[in-house]
């Protein structure tokens, strides 16, 4: 149905472009290098005949294919992000393409003892006989979310070459800075022009997600008192020990490594410190809004307790909500999830409706007036050097995008 070699070559080209975002940057996008890929995507869209493609001042790429029918069909959008996570080098120049995978260990980087082992990643055994694209163990692969980009681009190319496919308006968007939580800070929903959209940013084949975490972060500064240790009895206040005490007061069973499915967590993202001053950065996550609010209240109570114990203003904190569970916005338009399910079944893909243990651009877009579930792109082990994508899953994701366009002919505005 689609040009598989074109899909593969696009993906390999995209992952070779460094688009890593930077959480410490105050600019938008956080790194100018993201615009290199964005500019290339504009060129490729125009080469397909999508003449209205453009990149704006913030690095957003937007384009649309006009409806080819007078039927009142809702405009559908497809969105992916160009940036890769800051966790590791994102410029993948030496991907491995392993055809007809036989179920044995895959060597990523022998010198660094990096392997993809079914004993550690048992889902690999689901892909015996398939084509695995992985890293050489020195970088991220970048399937998150360049697989999604390649799939959208290939699907749009197919639609442009097959005008017999009846469709409404199709909107295309590529965003920067998703990995650092800023992907839609300047996204203009009205200009994008879609009634409903889908992010193509999921993992394994079949994933269809319209629930995600409610998310917040808290940044905590702890002021100690440093004195010569030989003369510090009853005077020294070691901020590092207060930081350890604070962490110990949080429920240890609510850490990411002990949670799954709908269970929320506190994650200590970063900590630095000396006797005199320490800093802690936590993220707080829960699918349930009530439990989410309770988690925030609890960590604030811990901070207040330690202030009472060690003195007022020993601890100062900034607590900020980041995004909310899109389910609250999707339930009223659940037919867009049903359309995606039908599109998957038409591609011989079993829908796996699961909650996202994270967030997507779609979560925030849903609260900005653009309901936006998430569909699979085919990757695994995101944000690390063990990342890989199953090429056959990419092919199916591309087919699903095309099928969603076809399904929308049956929807009414």
Which residues have a catalytic role annotated? 83, 178
Residues 6+ apart with CB under 8 A from 309: none
φ, ψ of residue 372 to 5 degrees: the values are -150, 85
Between CA 172 and CA 223 the distance in angstroms is 49
Residue 311 vs residues 117, 168, 249: alpha-carbon distances, Å: 51, 63, 18
Residues 6+ apart with CB under 8 A from 21: 29, 30, 31, 34, 83, 84, 85, 86, 176, 177, 178, 179, 180, 182
Of the candidates 365, 355, 404, the residue with the CA atom closest to the CA atom of residue 210: 355
* Helix locations, 250-390, DSSP H: 289-310, 327-330, 335-346, 361-367
Between CA 74 and CA 100 the distance in angstroms is 41
**Cβ pair 192, 370 in contact under 8 A:** yes
């Amino acid at each position: 149905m689609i040009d598989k070699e074109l899909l593969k070559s696009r993906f390999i080209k995209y992952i070779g472009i460094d688009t890593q975002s930077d959480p410490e940057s105050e600019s938008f996008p956080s790194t100018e290098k993201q615009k290199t890929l964005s500019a290339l995507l504009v060129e490729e869209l125009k080469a397909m005949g999508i003449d209205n493609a453009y990149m704006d001042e913030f690095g957003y790429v937007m384009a649309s294919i006009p409806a080819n029918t007078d039927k009142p069909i809702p405009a559908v959008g497809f969105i992916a992000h160009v940036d890769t996570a800051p966790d590791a080098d994102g410029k993948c120049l030496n991907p491995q393409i392993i055809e007809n995978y036989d179920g044995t260990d895959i060597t990523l980087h022998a010198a660094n003892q990096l392997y993809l082992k079914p004993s550690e990643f048992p889902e690999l055994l689901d892909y015996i006989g398939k084509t695995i694209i992985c890293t050489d163990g020195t970088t991220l692969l970048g399937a998150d979310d360049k697989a999604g980009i390649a799939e959208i681009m290939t699907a749009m190319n197919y639609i442009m070459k097959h005008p017999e496919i009846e469709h409404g308006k199709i909107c295309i968007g590529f965003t920067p800075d998703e990995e650092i939580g800023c992907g839609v800070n300047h996204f203009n929903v009205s200009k994008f022009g879609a009634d409903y959209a889908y992010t193509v940013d999921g993992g394994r084949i079949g994933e269809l997600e319209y629930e995600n975490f409610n998310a917040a972060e808290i940044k905590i500064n702890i002021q100690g008192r440093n004195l010569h240790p030989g003369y510090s009895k009853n005077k020294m206040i070691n901020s590092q020990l207060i930081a350890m005490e604070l962490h110990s007061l949080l429920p240890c069973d609510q850490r990411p490594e002990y949670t799954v499915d709908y269970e929320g967590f506190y994650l200590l993202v970063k900590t630095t410190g000396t006797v005199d001053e320490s800093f802690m950065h936590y993220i707080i996550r829960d699918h349930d809004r009530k439990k989410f609010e309770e988690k925030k209240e609890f960590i604030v109570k811990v901070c207040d307790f330690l202030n009472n114990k060690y003195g007022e203003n020993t601890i100062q904190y900034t607590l900020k909500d980041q995004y909310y569970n899109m389910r609250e916005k999707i339930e009223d338009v659940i037919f867009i999830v049903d359309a995606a399910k039908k599109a998957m079944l038409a591609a011989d893909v079993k829908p796996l409706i699961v909650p996202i243990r994270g967030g997507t651009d779609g979560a925030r877009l849903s609260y900005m007036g653009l309901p936006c579930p998430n569909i699979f792109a085919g990757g695994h082990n995101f944000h690390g050097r063990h990342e890989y994508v199953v090429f056959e899953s990419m092919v199916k994701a591309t087919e699903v995008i095309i099928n969603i366009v076809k399904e929308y002919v049956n929807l009414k505005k």
